[in-house]
Structure 1
Amino acid sequence: MKNILIIDDEIHTCTLLRKILIKEGFDVDVTMSGSTALKMVKEKHYQVVFCDYRLKDKEKDGATLSREINLLNPHTAIIIMTGYPDVRIAIQFIRNGVYDYITKPLNAEQIVLLANKAYLHVNNIRDNNDPIATTVVTISTVVNAQGKLHESEHVFGNSSASKELHQQINLIAPTNYSVIIFGETGTGKESVARLIHSRSKRSTMPFVALDCGSLTNELAASELFGHQKGAFTGAINANTGAFQQANGGTLFLDEVANLSYNIQVALLRVMQERVVRPVGSSIEIPVDIRIIVASNENLPQAISQGKFREDLFYRLNEFTLTVPPLRNRLEDLPLFVETFVKETENELQRKSGPLSPELLAYFNTYSWPGNIRELKNVIRRACLLTPANDTIDLQVLPEEMIDLHKPVQKKVEKVNPPVQDNNLNLKAIAKQAEHEKIMTVLREVKFNKTKAARLMNIDRKTLYNKLQLLDIKFKI
């Protein structure tokens, strides 16, 4: 039975939610008292609880009640309802075990979506043996039942984390909701976005992907909104921006946190008004698009640091997906390895041998900082270096993975480091100091160039130029 408990001191809210959720097949109980709610939770198992943040019950407000329900049943998904959205409060809720929160006034479609999402989440926690096929990772081919390759951008795993992700994709894809996809570098965020698009009503229309991390402040407005001929120096021809290119379909903005504050303001206006104004033009052009964004950063934290607009976050955050890192779903590793080996065999037009037990054992102890992308590259390299039909062994691994005792960090090579001038002139001193500073920042962010550039308040192009000038090279 799909049991939901609604706790709110406003009777019309309880009535509305009960009516909406009963139509979706849920068994719904309601109460306006926090104390009564605790008794009900002790007597009956609820998979999902909707709880008002500001209950009039002096002894049991929403925050206290959510903690006590979580202690009684950690597997219950608690959703806080509040008319006072505050990202700091939201973060505190999550830390205290709350599954999600929703702002008032309530929207029926959002309520249904969130209830189903929470119910799937609870079921996956309680039943890790569910045989439903699951997650998405970035690759170009998958293996069918006959072991042959066919064109696709996804491969499905069997872990509980993969199952939940795929079920949530199926849930959100048919809607027109904006989606935020969180995940580490290399987990396949763009692949998830493409899958959402392919399963939506917009699947026959364009899917346009834009890497915001590669955009300078000067280029961002033109790339997003387009520009007129002569709008600025170098604008020899008119340019159609990503919003117009994606009209009718889906626009995917990767690393959205890298957009400047001014561009964030413009993006918010486009989302609200659904019109774009190309740079240098006075004409507003209507656009009909779905927006999906991705980030490997904590956006609520970026908001608290003043790097990301809170109103833009709430506009984008109609639904959130998190792509799990490879180290959290190692049970999917054999399938991923098999798929990448077959894909590489197809690419090289020759048969590869089996992976040695030692190599497979190492794969299961390695932390995979580059996630699925790193695994795919390692397999392709290993198959290339190993003669046809020979066993693939440890010696074909990249240098940074050879240490068997611990996961190895990305290895840094200093090729011709800056030479100290014997006279210690100012240029030599400055060059050495710049070299050391860049290396320190790169190590702090695990050699993520986008993050490093942002911390040093420069764009990525400037960072690349400095890396080349100072002869700094490192293996990824």
Structure 2
Amino acid sequence: MPKNNYILVIDDDTYICNILKKYLEQNDFKVDITYKGAAAKELIAQNHYDIILCDYRLPDYDGMHILRYTRSVKPLIPVVIMTAYAEISKAVELIKSGAFDYIVKPMQPEMVIEVLNRALDRNSQVKSVASFSESFIQGNSEKMLEVMQHVEIVASTDITVMIEGETGSGKEFIARAIHHSSNRSKAPFIPVDCGAIPGELANSVLFGHVKGSFTGAVNDKTGYFQEAKGGTLFLDEVGNLSYENQVKILRALQEKTVTRIGDNKAQRVDIRLIAASNENLHEKVEAGEFREDLYHRLNEFMIKVPALRSRREDIIEFAGQFINQANKAFNKSVQGLDDEARELLLKYEWPGNIRELQNVIKRAVLLSPEDVINPGLFPDELRLPLSGLSSGLSEKPSGAEFTDLKSATYVNERELIQNALEKTNNNKSRAARLLGIDRKTLYNKIRLYNLKQKD
């Protein structure tokens, strides 16, 4: 990681803020901290941060408000959200709205650094073929094999590709696979978050400007279309484009030229365009929310990336690769998953898709004291889903949330233990792993709450 990257940490928990500040400064970050959203907005406007690390829940605003504000004033700054696992659905919505990633509390310092490193790496925009090949996993499900066949077919051409799929399903990886399999692979691959480009800055960000062309234009700037020269421009979440930006991009694609703000001379651009969306753009066209002419210009070839829950046969392969990656990142030697952990991964619905699976595995590898991952290392949402530990358990009140014993705030501790014992047929070792505690603690709790045990 380059030294002295400038980060803003926003969290109303002063203890967390101070711990993060100390740890990040030890890792060569320059750090500002603040406890409220209003103060954060002032700091974002006044300073030039490389990354923003923001808690989802703040006293005055939430993470979505801070994300939208950042995108409006400093659209290129990656925003990472800190969230409780019970709020995973909100985290997915934040990713859809332009957040770079999320970190689940309680946070492990090594995971914070790993996410921040990726955010900084993404800002460099270009990945080598070697690093891409190492990180890309296609899976062997029938649906993904069909997707990769389409990638192989379309890569050798220059036609525009539209990729549709849920947030976290791997759309950018498919775009990179097309790029690295094409004759443009040695040229740049430039990913652009279309939803993060404010209308008033679109011309400058996409097409560049010359010095003095408007207030604040203190230097010449190269736009994304020029940066992708000879390579691939990836317009991510293209459905978020404003109408004004849709018009400008359509014109650039049709004419194959761009003109910087303040420059009278048009510049020819030689790029391959790939677009992606987590929405059905055809429906947006019918609803009058997306230009039909741009839709057809982008949709010369459609690839639909399936959700992870619809290709469960790929989950264990992905998990194995993520274990290997986490071992390298954290200098660990975890070998795999035990049978219960595998079963949980296969049954979970994965609303955050591959991105969520990767975060779960990274956390488990980091926390694992042994060479095999067990269910006790998984977040509550996997171990104790809202529907109960099994279909045979008593129903919980609507809206109840489960947490582990160390941080239980919504569900009575006694009830959690009773549910775990019922789920495991009174197997104390398995129940302890489900609850994330050791056997001795479990026995103490059983005596404390006078829980009846089956013989």
- Does 2:168 match 1:186? yes
Structure 1 position 177, deviation (Å): 0.4
Of 298, 309, 314, the residue aligned with 1:327 is 309
Deviations 1:42-79 (A, max 9, x none): xxxxxxxxxxxxxxxxxxxxxxxxxxxxxxxxxxxxxx
Change in CA separation of 1:304 and 1:411 when aligned onto 2, cut-off 3 Å: farther
Instruction: Name the residue aligned to 2:384.
Output: 403
Of 209, 213, 221, the residue aligned with 1:227 is 209
Of 251, 270, 273, the residue aligned with 2:233 is 251
Q: Contact 2:385 / 2:402 at 8 angstroms: preserved in 1?
A: no
3-state SS in 1 of match to 2:347: coil
Change in CA separation of 1:365 and 1:199 when aligned onto 2, cut-off 3 Å: same
Change in CA separation of 1:217 and 1:277 when aligned onto 2, cut-off 3 Å: same
Structure 1 position 150, deviation (Å): 9.6
Instruction: Name the residue aligned to 1:102.
Output: none
Change in CA separation of 1:353 and 1:410 when aligned onto 2, cut-off 3 Å: farther
- Structure 2 segments unaligned to the other structure (5+ residues): 1-117, 122-130, 390-398, 404-455
Instruction: Name the residue aligned to 2:375.
Output: 394
Q: Contact 1:180 / 1:317 at 8 angstroms: preserved in 2?
A: yes
Report the TM-score when normalising by structure 1.
0.53
Of 141, 162, 169, the residue aligned with 2:151 is 169
RMSD: 2.6
User: How far apart are the structure 1 equivalents of 2:388 and 2:213?
Assistant: 51
Change in CA separation of 1:173 and 1:410 when aligned onto 2, cut-off 3 Å: farther
User: How far apart are the structure 1 equivalents of 2:366 and 2:242?
Assistant: 42
Instruction: Name the residue aligned to 2:448.
Output: none
Instruction: Name the residue aligned to 2:340.
Output: 358
Instruction: Name the residue aligned to 2:221.
Output: 239
Instruction: Name the residue aligned to 1:218.
Output: 200
Of 274, 296, 305, the residue aligned with 1:314 is 296
Instruction: Name the residue aligned to 1:337.
Output: 319
Q: Contact 1:228 / 1:235 at 8 angstroms: preserved in 2?
A: yes
User: How far apart are the structure 2 equivalents of 1:293 and 1:355?
Assistant: 36
Q: Contact 1:365 / 1:407 at 8 angstroms: preserved in 2?
A: no
- Does 2:252 match 1:270? yes
Report the TM-score when normalising by structure 2.
0.55
Of 128, 136, 141, the residue aligned with 1:159 is 141
- Does 2:275 match 1:293? yes
Q: Which has the larger radius of gyration?
A: 1
Deviations 1:354-409 (A, max 9, x none): 422222111111110111111111000001111142x4222222233332464999
Change in CA separation of 1:368 and 1:226 when aligned onto 2, cut-off 3 Å: same
Q: Contact 2:179 / 2:185 at 8 angstroms: preserved in 1?
A: yes
- Counterparts in 2 of 1:68-217, with a 5 A limit? 152-217=134-199
User: How far apart are the structure 2 equivalents of 1:170 and 1:396?
Assistant: 38
Instruction: Name the residue aligned to 1:382.
Output: 364
Structure 1 position 230, deviation (Å): 2.0
Instruction: Name the residue aligned to 2:351.
Output: 369
One-letter amino acid of the structure 1 residue matched with residue 277 of structure 2: S
Q: Which has the higher contact order (CA 8 A, sep 6+)?
A: 2
User: How far apart are the structure 2 equivalents of 1:158 and 1:410?
Assistant: 37
User: How far apart are the structure 1 equivalents of 2:187 and 2:373?
Assistant: 43
Structure 1 position 349, deviation (Å): 1.7
Q: Which stretch has the larger CA shift, 185-194 or 404-413?
A: 404-413
User: How far apart are the structure 1 equivalents of 2:296 and 2:309?
Assistant: 30
One-letter amino acid of the structure 2 residue matched with residue 314 of structure 1: H
User: How far apart are the structure 2 equivalents of 1:249 and 1:281?
Assistant: 24
User: How far apart are the structure 1 equivalents of 2:201 and 2:343?
Assistant: 46
Change in CA separation of 1:411 and 1:214 when aligned onto 2, cut-off 3 Å: farther
User: Across the two proteins, how many residue pairs are aligned to each other?
Assistant: 266
3-state SS in 2 of match to 1:152: helix
3-state SS in 1 of match to 2:233: strand
Q: Contact 1:153 / 1:191 at 8 angstroms: preserved in 2?
A: no
User: How far apart are the structure 2 equivalents of 1:163 and 1:375?
Assistant: 20
User: How far apart are the structure 1 equivalents of 2:203 and 2:379?
Assistant: 40
Deviations 1:77-107 (A, max 9, x none): xxxxxxxxxxxxxxxxxxxxxxxxxxxxxxx
Structure 1 position 223, deviation (Å): 1.2
Q: Contact 1:350 / 1:388 at 8 angstroms: preserved in 2?
A: no
Change in CA separation of 1:233 and 1:257 when aligned onto 2, cut-off 3 Å: same
One-letter amino acid of the structure 2 residue matched with residue 322 of structure 1: K
Q: Which stretch has the larger CA shift, 328-337 or 211-220?
A: 211-220
User: How far apart are the structure 1 equivalents of 2:132 and 2:269?
Assistant: 35
- Structure 1 segments unaligned to the other structure (5+ residues): 1-137, 141-148, 414-476
Q: Contact 2:205 / 2:223 at 8 angstroms: preserved in 1?
A: yes
User: How far apart are the structure 1 equivalents of 2:400 and 2:251?
Assistant: 41
User: How far apart are the structure 2 equivalents of 1:363 and 1:190?
Assistant: 23
Deviations 1:12-70 (A, max 9, x none): xxxxxxxxxxxxxxxxxxxxxxxxxxxxxxxxxxxxxxxxxxxxxxxxxxxxxxxxxxx
